[in-house]
Structure 1
Amino acid sequence: MSFGRTLRLAFRFSLREMRGGLSGFFIFLACIALGVGAIGGVNSVARAITGAVETEGQSLLAADLRFELNQRRAGADERAFLTGLGDVSESANMRSMARLPDGSDQTLVEVKAVDGLYPLYGERVTEPQLSHDDLFAEVDGAFGAAAPALLFERLGIAPGDRIMLGGQPIELRAVLTTEPDAVSDGFGFAPRLMISLDALEATGLIQPGSLVEHVYKVRLVGDTDAGALEAAQAQAGAEFPEAGWSIRTRSNAAPSLSRNIERFSQFLTLVGLTALVVGGVGVANAVRAYLDSKRAVIATFKSLGASGAFVFTVYLVQILMIAGIGILAGLVIGALMPFGASAVLSSVLPVPATGGFYPAALAVAALFGVMITLVFALMPLGRARDVPATALFREMGVDGRGWPRPVYILLSMAIAASLAGFAIWFSDDRRMAAVFVGATVFAFIVLRVVALGIEWLARRSPRVASTPLRLALGNIHRPGALTPSVVLSLGLGLTLLATLALIDGNLRRQITGNLPEVAPNFFFVDIQSGEVEAFADLVSEQAPDGKLIQVPMLRGRITALNGVNVRDMEIPPEGGWVLRGDRGITYARNAPENSTLTQGEWWPADYDGEPLVSFTAEEGGELGLKIGDTITVNVLGRDVTARIANFRAVEWESLAINFVMVFSPNTFAGAPHAWLATLTDAEATQADESQILNAVTRGFPTVTTVRVKDALDVVNRLVEQLATAIRAAAAVALIASVLVLSGALAAGNRARVHDAVVLKTLGATRRTLIAAFSLEYLLIGLATAVFALLAGGVAAWFVVAQVMGLPSSFLPEVALTTIAVALVLTVGFGLIGTWRVLGHKAAPVLRNL
């Protein structure tokens, strides 16, 4: 019989067998639908957000092109070049302190000074809505401003009230409700204060070396397509190679947001894949149970002359058709998710995440669903292929007959390898995806070993007097026991849950506990060189027991490594952050006290040779740098090339003053710069800190003061939001584990019915059987929870200690919660299924034995 005819005939038989409905496959369908829906939905939402960023790029950037310069304004030639491209809107961004006129209160603000053309695209919305002149013009000695409601709440003021910014009175005339280019300006730790450029100049905040970003936004005239944007960008780099400006186009309006969305969607995709893999165990359970229920049909097929290959094809077609229903349901969920997410995310993300249909994302999810089905269905199908008809008529079922033919094992392994390859290929961070895939494979192997270990211990356990316990131990290691399925399904979900919970707990402990204890009380920014001594005297007077550290600070952008432009280099993802944007840099005669030399030597205090630089060891290793390599940094529009003299190990978690790059003092001789300082006083109370903050703000109005505890509060809120999303994602995998666990218990109910009936016939009471089954589930759940804690603890330690570089500790409350969840799930679901088993009457079952 030809293959095509065989396939058509198998398809006809499959449809006939499916007329009885999908009974026994609901767990199968739920597992596949959940995993496919999670993967398709997450990727669709991510594409909707990134698509919105690209589509709305012009409004989000408030320009076609954005040129940013740090610590300096554009020169005459540069400004002429920008004007030649089209309309130019200039703005300036910096952090400063806003205080009440009587000096009774103050707060950090993100100052944004704009001109009359702002915004070139989009709309600035205020309440009340005012024109540029009405909002910002000087009236009675005070310039106008707009700020979000948060600033009014922090200072306890209302529209129409005045504040002091630097040395200039500012009247808050409106509440800022919409800032079109907020997302392109990046994340801020403080509320926005929007003023005019004239007002910023009047405040006196901009001094030589002040940390201010000058932004020039261009609305192109004439041709404005992608080619024109690229041409303008290339022309700017060619005509002003040492300008040091960061250039962004409307097609890349919010790179940080897009990058973070991609990373988070990748994480959620991997979690969804975990749910799908866990669901694969449910697929295997469902296929085995289904084939067991069809043993008489399979025997009849073979008795009538059907070949093993035909039987295999019939049931493979059925499984794929049923999987197709689950995949279709998952695709519907994934397709609808962007529409639901748009409403939820509208209040969180500053981009219009509208719904949409994303075939590519859904196709990837469907592919994963099909491959998972095949990986877990081929083995039981292959095993059923070679069972003779006599054995099927004579015995209980098709499971537990040894290994299938090598072709099915190899085919299953090949599909599994392809699945791993696709998961890595479709990932943005392939290294992380490879680690995840490897960890999943390792977890499967280890969990199988754990299941065998549990069975071995139960088999080798001494004889106990308790009948229920003796029955429970026997059930754990008997042929066809539930132990492997329960350990595998529950183990993966609980391990993921424990890992994420421990990571979250350690991060929270660092932010709310350890960091505030070792971190400075204050950071002081933009201290002018002529004010350093007077500033130190004031701080010493206010905090006589405090430790003040002051260092010079500039901003610079790495433009080349060993003479090669960084734009032309393949940079590993883990070290890429060093090359993105501007970095704080400093110079020093002596090695910083909070770092340790790991390689090379420090320069002499009176060194006056070629520029040298000390680079952090970890980041240098990630970038592939070594002693003697050169780094080119653009500072104040000038390229400076320095040779690496040494590497330093830095404890970033201390939040002390640390820099990736520390230069020899002669490198920036004569360059204008400000100073950065920290104050550490472990004995200072909140009242003391308020007094210090007030005194510094009044005495040095141009100095920006950042209270570390306030910054940590902002970070903690962000971590809480992220943790909520992560826990929700982990819940998907846990739900899949629960479904698989339910399926495994349901698949074992047939054997449980026979066991219960025989035991009841021999005199066992219902109470004895309930106690035996409860102890069985309790022991398996407890053993699985212990493994999840060990594996989750190791995984969390690796992420926290090795990846994040933070102290890691084991949290007992997480351990107890994980154990409680394991026991509730195993015992609870086990007893729910067993209760029905115990209700069967003995006679009908005994007649069929």
Structure 2
Amino acid sequence: MSGFVPGSASRGHQTFPLAARFALRELRGGLKGFYIFIACIALGVAAIAGVTSVSRALTEGISREGQAILGGDLAFRLIHRQAAPDQLAYLEDLGDISRVATMRAMARLPENADREGNQALVELKAVDAAYPLYGAVALAGGRSLDEALAQTDGIWGAVADPALLARLDLAVGDTVSLGRGTVRITDVIASEPDKLAGGMEFGPRLMVSDAALPGTDLVQPGSLVRWHYRVRLNPSPGLEALEGIVEDARSARPDAGWRVRSRANASPGLQRSIDRFAQFLTLVGLTALVVGGVGVANAIRAYLETKREVIASFKCMGATGGFVFRIYLVQMIVLALIGIAAGLVIGALIPFAAAAALDGVLPVAMAANIYPTELGLGLTYGLLTALAFALWPLGRAHDVPPTALFRDIVTGGAKLPRKRYLLATAVTVALLAVIAVTLAHDKRMAGIYLAAAAGAFVLLVLVARVIMHVARRLPSMRSTELRLAIANIHRPGALTPSVVLSLGLGLTLLVALALIDGNLRRELTATIADKAPSFFFVDIQSQERDAFEALLAAEAPKANLQSVPMLRGRIVSLNGIASEDFVPARDGSGWVLRGDRGITYDATLPENSKLVEGAWWPEDYDGVPLVSFDAEAATDLGLKIGDQVSVNVLGRDITAEIANLRDVEWQSLAINFVMVFSPNTFAGAPHAHLMTLGWEDDVPVKQELALLKTVSNAYPTVTAVRVRDAISQVNDLVAQLAWAIRGASSITLVASVLVLAGALAAGHRSRIYDAVILKTLGATRARLIIAYALEYAILGLTTAVFALFAGGLAAWYVITRIMDGSFVLMPLTAAGAALIALVLTVGFGLIGTWRILGEKPAPVLRNL
């Protein structure tokens, strides 16, 4: 302790630089005892920096390839109809244009093909000669797209996704029926530059020339076909100038009814998914940091315990409590910076590793790079977390005299730190929460997540105290091992708070995610499957409707049929406010305003709906247009009865007044719409019909496929969607997402394991004393192992019970309140949580105990 003598210990001389000198000198002895501290900080920082960097790399990749993804600098989309001549002239004045039509259709094998699955739903794409304006369609055979789609011997060519060939057992050169026409598969699609712009797909891609489309008769008045007009600007402007052109296009043709996008927003759906997933993973990383913060507190508390004599010496020589605090604060910051540096290095490398691992898997190339802003965010989170959990244990040493520090191991050190340290801790935690919520994509969800994490943390502290209180009040057990285990749970300096906190948060998160995943699967595979119809039939023309319904009634006499008129439109304004400028009442609830919505009209209240406010219009109503709105969507948007809603349908803006609100049973997958209009609203408008078919009882798959074949052959222009296939596809997507979430969430469990190991290591010294004394008094190694195993098993089971309760509550809230589903507690999930807790606590506990029991008694007894 050279450089510090009593005469220089006055308050004025105990400066921060002097404290830093002492702190760095003490660290010359190495980092022993702080490896868990450093690992916890590094893990959380790496998770946050890595996730945000990967998200940025994906976003940059989308932006860099925005022209190819969108198919142009600008894209104008219309539904049901093509651009009018004046609109087309306006687009041609902007630059080079390409027209693409997309729709769902049925691809069928020739009628003489005797196969069980002889038809398949496809995502049809009809392109013109200018397609693609940017990028290129790569074909497996190496030929050009124009050559592959050309007409030969009176049959138009087509290129297909490999999945379609596998599904229909096709080969290049085979023909398939498409609507009322026939196309020949001439090549296989290897890559499609604008695939991401199409959104979710229910079938494989089939691409044809737009010249082949009229011969299929698929495009009829009211058919669900989307027309995309891509524009290449010459020269290509910067992003700011591009947004100005977008605004001009909207204001120059306000009645066009088109949806305008620029290359800066090439794939909004994918971008939203990336943002939300990145937010979730960032919160998981933050949870890992919070769990690791418990390890930080444990490590500092254990370190200060070994420094009792040093602190006592400082104070005896005149050091103030503030000076002691500054010494160990500097040490903590240095150690935290070591962990943060390691985490930042790992986080900076993660985008490069992800880009290499996902090469060829993602539809867009990641722009792997080192992103200083994202790394800075990881540094900020890491430093604030370290401070939040270090200030409390460091602050306790401020005013405690040397004698009390010597007694701390006996008394348990329950004294709170000074108010300044309590306030600093609270401010640091609040700052962490503000940053997390401010930077979140969905601030409401981020707030709920952080509130739940904070509540779980507080509850775990209370649970630990309750466990100790109950253990203290239990009557004396006859079993020596059990009596010793219970005593270890509540004794001064017990490991109970550390173990419960270490495992509790990690297990709670895992249980919540497992239950959410399980309930979503149950809804998809059981509840929805039981209620859902077997088929959706789309694009039934008005003149075909009665005959089509008669065919279904004859082929499936015991099935339930439902039919409604259907149009597509998009909301352009609410109460006179443009949808682009409208701010929903709830964050993240503006999904109704994005894209096109299915709409219908009806004289009576539809099935699967319940009127909750307002009245339904009379069957012969002929006044101003009225609309019935989904109650939940109206609440999210802040709408009420009497408000005005304007939608663009078939190029016309129609304004209707909200007459009533209704609850919709979306889980049934029956015909449901957010908006149902009064019949007079669309009088005379061309439209198609939507029909569903479902059986009360399960029917064999063969019967479903036979019906599908009959309908497809009789009405080739009608698109049939088999619900079982759609559910299976969504279920596969949920499964992949669930595995990704579980893998990411395992970061929290790893942090929990690290903290648990640190907690057990922190109690190593006191356990050695206990084991030596007990062995001296005649306890055998086997008896001590049983006692310690019982102690760890009790703590593990108790923590698992809490995790099940807290995780179940969190999952119930997400499923019932956010996703509006039904919740069921799953016993296997509970058993899994209990098993994980037992394996970790008993396993790590016994590993440490085995080492403790091997200590020689003599050296320990001499130092007592």
The TM-score, its normalising length taken from structure 1, stands at 0.98
Task: Answer yes or no: is the 8 Å Cα contact 1:292–1:398 preserved in 2.
Answer: no
* AA at the equivalent of 1:252: N
Give the Cα separation in 1 of the matches to 2:493 and 2:648.
69
Q: How far 1:390 moved relative to its partner?
A: 3.7
Deviation at 1:668, TM superposition (A): 0.2
Question: Percent identical across equivalent pairs?
Answer: 57
> Which residue does the alignment assign to 2:762?
747
> Match for residue 861 of structure 2?
846
Matches within 5 A, 1:674-713: 674-681=688-695, 682-713=697-728
Contact 1:145 1:194 in 2 (8 A): yes
Aligned-partner residue type, residue 493 of structure 1: G
* Alpha carbons 1:150, 1:191 under 8 Å: kept: yes
Deviation at 1:303, TM superposition (A): 2.1
Please say if residues 287 and 748 of structure 2, whose CA atoms lie closer than 8 Å, have aligned partners that are also in contact. yes
The superposition leaves residues 55-90 of structure 1 with CA deviations (integer Å, 9 ceiling, x where unpaired) of 111121120000000000000000000000010100
Which residue of structure 2 lines up, in the alignment, with residue 531 of structure 1?
544
Could you tell me how far 1:187 is from its partner in structure 2? 2.0
Q: Is the 8 A contact 1:590 1:602 kept in 2?
A: yes
State whether structure 2 residue 256 is matched by structure 1 residue 247: no
Provide the C-alpha distance between the structure 2 equivalents of 1:773 and 1:482, rounded to a whole number of angstroms: 12
The change in CA–CA distance for 1:533 and 1:11 in structure 2 (over 3 A counts) is same
Kindly report which structure 2 residues correspond to 1:323-402, keeping only aligned pairs within 5 A, or say none.
323-392=336-405, 396=409, 400-402=413-415
1:761 aligns with 2:776: yes
Deviation at 1:184, TM superposition (A): 1.3
Residue pairs, 1:86-101, within 5 angstroms:
86-101=95-110
Correspondence for 1:238 among 251, 258, 262: 251
Q: Distance in 2 between matches of 1:8 and 1:398?
A: 34
1:437 maps to: 450
| Residue aligning to 2:736 | 721
Q: Are the structure 2 counterparts of residues 628 and 371 from structure 1 closer, same or farther at C-alpha, using a change threshold of 3 Å? A: same
Q: 1:651 corresponds to which residue?
A: 665
The Cα of 1:307 is off from its aligned counterpart by: 1.9
Tell me, yes or no, if structure 1 residue 620 matches structure 2 residue 620.
Answer: no
SS in 1 for 2:557: coil
Displacement after TM superposition at 1:399 (Å): 5.9
Q: 1: CA distance between counterparts of 2:462 and 2:708?
A: 60
1:348 aligned partner, one-letter code? V
Indicate how the Cα distance of structure 1 residues 161 and 223 shifts in structure 2: closer, same or farther if over 3 A, else same: closer
Comparing 204-213 with 507-516, greater Cα deviation is found at: 507-516
Question: Partner residue of 1:498?
Answer: 511
Corresponding residue for residue 7 of structure 2: none
Measured in 2, the distance between the counterparts of 1:648 and 1:450 equals 43
Alpha-carbon distance in structure 2 between the residues aligned to 1:141 and 1:811: 60
The gaps in structure 1 that reach 5 residues or longer are none
- Bigger drift between 123-132 and 522-531 goes to 123-132
CA separation in 1, counterparts of 2:88 and 2:521?
A: 47
Match of 1:565 in 2: 578
- Deviations along 1:33-61, one digit per CA (max 9) or x if unpaired, are 00000001000000000111111111211
Partner of 2:823: 808
SS of 1:281 mapped into structure 2: helix
Please tell me whether the aligned partners of residues 412 and 492 of structure 2 are also in contact (alpha carbons under 8 angstroms).
Answer: no
Q: Which amino acid aligns with 1:662?
A: V
2:121 corresponding residue in structure 1: 108
1:573 corresponds to which letter in structure 2?
A: D
Distance in structure 1 (CA, Å) of the matches to 2:510 and 2:199: 32
Amino acid at match of 1:285: N
Amino acid aligned to 1:96? A
**How far apart are residue 389 of structure 1 and its match?**
2.6
CA distance in 2, matches of 1:421, 1:132: 53
The residue aligned with 1:52 is 61
Does the C-alpha gap of structure 1 residues 733 and 395 become closer, same or farther in structure 2, counting only changes over 3 Å? closer
Distance 1:53 1:398, change over 3 A: farther
Task: Quote the RMSD (CA, aligned, Å).
Answer: 1.4
Aligned to 2:92: 83
The whole-number CA distance in structure 2 between the counterparts of 1:308 and 1:387 is 8
1:724 and 1:447 mapped to 2: Cα distance? 27
Contact 1:614 1:644 in 2 (8 A): yes
The equivalent residue for 2:595 is 581
What does residue range 406-417 of structure 1 map to in structure 2 within 5 Å? 406-417=419-430
Moved more, 610-619 or 507-516: 507-516
- The number of aligned residues is 849
- Give the C-alpha shift of residue 236 in structure 1: 1.8
Which residue pairs with 2:833 in the alignment?
Answer: 818
Compared CA separation, residues 343 and 398, structure 1 to 2 (3 A): farther
CA distance in 2, matches of 1:790, 1:368: 29
CA distance in structure 2 between the partners assigned to 1:785 and 1:395 by the alignment = 31
Select the residue among 542, 557, 566 that pairs with 1:553: 566
Of 398, 419, 422, the residue aligned with 2:432 is 419
Which of 789, 799, 811 does residue 814 from structure 2 map onto?
799
2:11–2:320 CA contact under 8 A, matched in 1: no
Distance 2:52 2:247 in 1: 33
Maintained 8 Å contact 1:92/1:214: yes
State how far apart, in whole Å, the 1-side matches of 2:356 and 2:263 are: 25
**Tell me, what secondary structure is at the counterpart of 2:423?**
helix
TM-score by length of 2: 0.97
- Is residue 28 from structure 1 mapped to residue 37 from structure 2 by the alignment? yes
Give how far 1:431 is off: 1.1
Instruction: Name the CA distance, whole Å, in 2 between partners of 1:232 and 1:49.
Output: 26
- 1:590 corresponds to: 604
| CA shift in 2, pair 1:479/1:108, >3 Å | same
Q: State the 1:344 CA deviation.
A: 2.3
After the TM superposition, which of the residue ranges 601-610 and 383-392 deviates more from structure 2? Answer: 383-392
Give CA-to-partner distance per residue, 1:562-591, whole Å, 9 cap, x none: 112122222233421000000000000110
Partner of 1:518: 531
SS at match of 2:716: coil
Instruction: Between 585-594 and 290-299, report the one with greater CA deviation.
Output: 290-299
- Match of 2:397, SS state, is helix
| CA deviation map 1:805-834 (0-9, x unaligned) | 111100001011110001111111111111
| Counterpart secondary structure, 1:312 | helix
> Distance in 1 between the 2:96 and 2:170 partners?
37
Structure-1 separation of matches of 2:130 and 2:439: 43
Q: Give the deviation of 1:198 after TM superposition.
A: 0.9
CA distance in 2, matches of 1:154, 1:809: 36
**1:38 correspondence with 2:51:** no
Shift of residue 684, structure 1, vs aligned partner: 2.1
Q: Distance in 2 between matches of 1:457 and 1:707?
A: 58
Partner residue of 1:665? 679
CA distance in 1, matches of 2:533, 2:244: 47
Unaligned stretches of 5+ in structure 2? Answer: 1-9
1:141 deviation in Å? 2.0
CA contact (8 A) 1:298 1:389 kept: yes
Q: CA deviation at 1:4?
A: 9.4
Tell me which amino acid in the other structure corresponds to 2:595: G
Report the equivalent of 1:186.
199
Q: Secondary structure at the match of 1:530?
A: coil
In the alignment, is the contact (CA less than 8 A) between 1:39 and 1:334 conserved in 2? yes
Aligned-pair CA distance for 1:131? 2.7
Runs (4+) of structure 1 exceeding 6 A deviation are 1-5
Q: Deviations over 1:611-664 (max 9, x none)?
A: 000000000111111111110000000000000111110110110000000000
CA contact (8 A) 2:137 2:145 kept: no
- Which whole-Å deviations, capped at 9, do the CAs of 1:370-413 have from their partners, x for residues lacking one? 11111111111111222323444577589615111111111111
1:496-551 deviations in whole A, cap 9, x for unaligned? 01000001111111222222111100000000000001101111111110001010
Deviation at 1:342, TM superposition (A): 0.8
Question: SS in structure 1 opposite 2:755?
Answer: helix
Distance 2:256 2:746 in 1: 50
Q: In structure 2, how many angstroms separate the alpha carbons of the residues matched to 1:227 and 1:417?
A: 37
Contact 1:144 1:173 in 2 (8 A): yes
* 1:362 alignment partner, SS class: helix
Counterpart AA for 1:596: K
In the alignment, the residues of structure 2 paired with residue 794 and residue 373 of structure 1 have an alpha-carbon distance, to the nearest angstrom, of: 29
* Alpha-carbon distance between aligned partners in 1 of 2:168 and 2:544, rounded to the nearest angstrom: 28
Shift of residue 235 of structure 1? Answer: 2.2
Counterpart residue number, 1:62: 71
Contact kept in structure 1, 2:409 and 2:493, CA below 8 Å: no
